Amino acid sequence: MEALLHNQASEIPRVHEALDQFAAEHGLSGAYISRLHLALEEHLTNVLSYGYDPGEPGTLRVRLSIERPILSIEIEDDGRPFNPIEAPVVDTTLPLDAKPLGGLGLLMIRKSVDELEYRRVADRNVLTMKRRI
């Protein structure tokens, strides 16, 4: 299953609907899918918030697939290059006033999936999130 979006926050619910439909077609439970919704929301929000200049047009492509026992979500965007795998892991042991801003969304993504892969292909970011079924 594939969804093509414009880089606008109003498009994100379409991806969640596609994930729900995909899950229903493959008999995946709500509890299993809820973690994927969280990871998808965090990544799409980061791409839309930081990947483009205000008003800059852009497109994102989300692909859902299953090769048992793995469900894969591939998110491709034409925003500025960013490899979330290389981003530092937030130190959650620091007191709140000592923590740098940002990074918690990436932490949630990392905790919601089993594996992340990133590549840059033809001026596009491609992040693949994988989770065991």
CB burial readout 34-44, b (16+ within 10 A) else e: eebbbbbbbbb
Q: Work out the percent of the chain whose per-residue pLDDT is above 90.
A: 75
Domain regions of the chain by residue span: 2-132
Quick: pLDDT tens for 66-116.
Answer: 999 999 999 999 999 999 988 766 655 555 565 555 555 687 898 899 999
The model's pTM is 0.88
What's the CATH class of domain 2-132?
Answer: alpha beta
Cβ-Cβ contacts under 8 Å for 120 (sequence gap 6 or more):
81, 83, 126
Tokens coding 86: 């290389």
